[in-house]
Chain A
């Protein structure tokens, strides 16, 4: 099955820095979702994007739905130690049936140095 492209696999930043993560696909999606997962836990939804070009914020997080519908990015500003975790992007075609399934990237592991 298809997977979304997230790279690099790991990122290391200093506390207080901003970080940006990109997610790309060879095919279009109509919804983009960003999740964060802590070790041994289920992913937690951070931001959902529904419209091409849409820019949405959630606290220090900002995400954009690419205009081509084939990419999305997530930006974290002023990072703090609790931002450590794995960040997944996911794309979805529609609301029902097989279109409702999520296609995931492999995730980016973020480390924040105090």
Chain B
């Protein structure tokens, strides 16, 4: 079954704990992105990666970290430095660079920090 997988769907953490959100894709897409969505808001870019072992900060990278050790995987860590971590997190991928502009989204992970 092809596509983008995000797990888990719902995640609860205590304040002060780091948490890692998973994003896996089997589309063979080069670029991967992490967005954050808050109620009534559009999506805001956290980090993106165009190739393995390379990633760049987006508009709201503070308090987050990522890695891209494999083409298929782009995990996002929400650290204790993130002041308002409760949100809906969306991972997206894009096909071959310089060819396609469409980004496709995974099902999302809703993180709640208690």
**A residues engaging B (CB < 8 A)?**
1, 3-4, 9, 31, 33, 35, 40-45, 48, 50, 88, 90, 92, 95-98, 100-102, 104-107
Interface footprint category on B: 20 to 34
Q: Measured between C-beta atoms, what is the minimum distance from A46 to chain B in Å?
A: 11
Digitize B50-94: 1 where CB-to-A-CB distance is under 8 Å, 0 elsewhere.
Answer: 100000101110000000000000000000000000001010001
Total A-B Cβ pairs within 8 A: 74
Give residues of chain B (2-18) contacting chain A, Cβ–Cβ below 8 Å.
4, 6
Q: For B43, what are the chain A residues with a Cβ–Cβ distance below 8 Å?
A: 43, 88, 90, 102, 104
Contacts A1-B59, A101-B58; A95 near B97 (Cβ below 8 A) = yes
Q: Measured between C-beta atoms, what is the minimum distance from B15 to chain A in Å?
A: 24
Digitize B88-107: 1 where CB-to-A-CB distance is under 8 Å, 0 elsewhere.
Answer: 10100010011111111111
The answer to whether A43 and B90 touch across the interface, beta carbons within 8 angstroms, is yes
The answer to whether B48 and A100 touch across the interface, beta carbons within 8 angstroms, is yes
Contacts A43-B90, A100-B50, A104-B42; A48 near B102 (Cβ below 8 A) = yes
Q: For A33, what are the chain B residues with a Cβ–Cβ distance below 8 Å?
A: 101-103
Please report the C-alpha to C-alpha distance between residue A9 and residue B41 in the assembled complex, in whole angstroms.
Answer: 10
User: Which chain B residue shows the least CB distance to A102?
Assistant: B103
Pairs across A and B, CB under 8 Å, 10 listed: A1-B59, A31-B101, A33-B101, A42-B106, A43-B105, A95-B99, A96-B50, A102-B45, A102-B103, A106-B41
Q: For B42, what are the chain A residues with a Cβ–Cβ distance below 8 Å?
A: 3-4, 88, 104-107
Q: For A40, what are the chain B residues with a Cβ–Cβ distance below 8 Å?
A: 88, 108, 110
Q: Measured between C-beta atoms, what is the minimum distance from A36 to chain B in Å?
A: 11
Please report the C-alpha to C-alpha distance between residue A79 and residue B94 in the assembled complex, in whole angstroms.
Answer: 30
Q: Is B31's CB within 8 Å of the partner chain A?
A: yes
Q: Is B29's CB within 8 Å of the partner chain A?
A: no
Q: For B45, what are the chain A residues with a Cβ–Cβ distance below 8 Å?
A: 1, 101-102
